C-alpha cells in the first residue's frame, strides 16, 4: 500500500473548514416574544455577534488559505500527519462554540472575560496545532515534495511564526479589555492578507 495521497485529505479538511465557517451563522438569534424589543432595535444591538462572526469567519478563511499553502508543498501524507491534521480540524470545528459565547457575552457585565478567554484560547490552540503540522512536515523535509525549493519552506516558516505569540498576546490583552482583544483578532486577520499577498509576489 502506497502512502496515501493528499487529495482526500484536502477534501476532508476543506469540508471541515467550510462547515465550521458556515455553522457560525447559527449563533445569531433574536427574541421573537411579543414583549421583546423591536426587531430593528435588536438587530442593531447584535453588533457583538456581527463582530464575532466576521472575526471567526476571516480567521477560518486565513487558516484555510495557510493550510492550502502547506498542502502545496507536501508530496505525501503519512498517518502521523493525518493525526495532527485531525487535531487541527478538531480545534477549528470547535470555533463556533466560543464565537457564540463572544456574541452572547461581549459587553455584558458578567461572563465577558470568560467568553473571550475561551475564544482566544481556542485560536491559540489552533495556531499551535497548525505549527505542529508544519513543523512535522517540514523537519528534514519529511513530507516535502522534491521540487519545492528550501527558500519556499523558509518563507512559509517565516510567515507562520508570528501566529502563536500573537494569539498569546491577544489572550493576555483580554485581561484588560475583552472587546479590544476581539477587535485586535479581527484586525490581525484582515491585515494578514495584504502581507500574504506580498509574500506571493516575492517567491
Residue 101 in the binding site for a copy of itself (CB under 8 A): yes
Please give the size of the binding site for a copy of itself, defined by CB under 8 A: 74
Contact with a copy of itself (CB under 8 A) among 45, 78, 135, 172: 78
Residues 130 and 66: their CA atoms lie apart, in Å, by 9
Taking a C-beta distance cutoff of 8 angstroms, is the pair 186, 170 a contact? no
Q: Is the CB of 86 or the CB of 131 nearer to a copy of itself?
A: 86
Residue 38 in the binding site for a copy of itself (CB under 8 A): yes
- From 94-102, 131-139, 168-176, 180-188, give the range in contact with a copy of itself by CB under 8 A: 94-102
Residue 97 in the binding site for a copy of itself (CB under 8 A): yes
Which residues make beta-bridge pairs with 74? Answer: 144
Residue 28 has phi, psi (to 5 degrees) of: -80, 125
Contact with a copy of itself (CB under 8 A) among 43, 172, 175, 187: 43
Residue 172 in the binding site for a copy of itself (CB under 8 A): no
Residue 26 in the binding site for a copy of itself (CB under 8 A): yes
Amino acid at each position: 500500500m502506497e502512502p496515501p495521497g493528499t487529495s482526500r485529505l484536502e477534501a476532508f479538511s476543506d469540508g471541515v473548514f467550510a462547515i465550521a465557517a458556515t455553522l457560525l451563522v447559527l449563533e445569531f438569534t433574536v427574541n421573537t416574544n411579543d414583549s421583546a424589543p423591536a426587531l430593528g432595535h435588536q438587530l442593531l444591538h447584535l453588533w457583538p455577534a456581527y463582530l464575532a462572526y466576521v472575526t471567526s469567519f476571516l480567521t477560518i478563511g486565513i487558516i484555510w488559505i495557510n493550510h492550502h499553502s502547506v498542502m502545496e508543498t507536501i508530496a505525501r501524507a503519512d498517518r502521523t500527519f493525518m493525526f495532527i491534521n485531525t487535531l487541527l480540524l478538531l480545534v477549528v470545528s470547535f470555533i463556533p462554540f466560543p464565537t457564540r459565547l463572544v456574541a452572547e457575552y461581549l459587553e455584558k457585565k458578567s461572563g465577558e472575560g470568560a467568553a473571550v478567554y475561551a475564544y482566544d484560547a481556542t485560536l491559540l490552540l489552533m495556531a499551535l496545532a497548525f505549527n505542529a503540522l508544519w513543523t512535522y512536515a517540514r523537519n528534514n523535509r519529511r513530507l516535502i515534495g522534491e521540487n519545492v525549493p528550501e527558500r519556499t519552506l523558509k518563507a512559509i516558516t517565516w510567515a507562520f511564526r508570528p501566529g502563536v505569540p500573537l494569539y498569546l498576546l491577544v489572550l493576555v490583552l483580554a485581561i484588560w479589555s475583552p472587546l479590544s482583544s476581539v477587535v485586535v483578532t479581527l484586525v490581525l486577520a484582515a491585515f494578514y492578507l495584504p502581507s500574504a499577498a506580498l509574500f506571493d509576489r516575492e517567491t
